[in-house]
Chains A and B, each alone.
Chain A
Amino acid sequence: MKNRLKVLRAERNWSQADLAQRLEVSRQSVNAIETGKYDPSLPLAFRIARLFDLSIETIFEA
């Protein structure tokens, strides 16, 4: 699944570790999500959307 996570993170000058800490997941998980190799669960997708103050469909696309 494609997503804009890397762009959104870069806009805020956050490292993967920073984002991981905010989302309470591991840096490896953030990397896997960013590269589209791991699809987050719905609760985690909601946490991501809430963190960036955007809707889920704005961040993720099928």
Chain B
Amino acid sequence: MTLGKERLSGRTYMICAAVLAFAAWCAIKGLLFFGQPAGALTIMAVVVAAAVAASLMLRRRLDEAGRSAERFAWYWGGGGAMALATVYLVTYMAAGAPWLDLALRGAWSPIELIALGAFGVAATQVMGFAIAGAAWWLKRR
């Protein structure tokens, strides 16, 4: 599913750089708002830059079937998992949501809630992506 030679266009790199710059700006503004130390910002910037670089390298090595699998996995896996998670959250909140209740009473700080939310979204999408991607390849074995 991976192999060399395929190259991403300059436009793709520019879009990635623009999205990354915007995300970094938002994240830094947000973290500064919550009074996070500069060390945390530096670590976050390094981790995000490494993740983006790894993603681009992996994407560049995918052949056309791999890219089809990836598109399918992000659309159906990532999107489907988020839809299921939304249904779960709505059901959970309708049932009283003891966990959200705790959060609203101040058991967690705003920055902890943001981190939990970001982690929840990322983990949900990655799980959906992995399942849908595996299904795509298994179906074509």
Contacts and interface: CB of A to CB of B under 8 A. Distances in A.
Contacts of B66: 26, 29
A24 B65 contact: no
Interface residues of B, number: 14
A31 B5 contact: no
The residue among A32, A33, A37, A41 with the most chain B CB atoms within 10 A of its own CB is: A32
Given A25-B3, A26-B3, A31 B141 contact: yes
Nearest to B62: A26
A37 B136 CA distance: 10
Contacts of B137: 28
Interface in B1-46: 1-5
Nearest to A32: B140
A25 B64 contact: yes
Contacts of A29: 1, 63-66
Interface string A1-26: 00000000000000000001000111
Interface in A37-55: 37-38, 40-41, 44
A46 to B, nearest CB: 13
Contacts of A33: 65
B63 A35 contact: no
Contacts of A37: 139-141
Interface string B57-72: 0000001111010000
Interface of B: 1-5, 63-66, 68, 137, 139-141
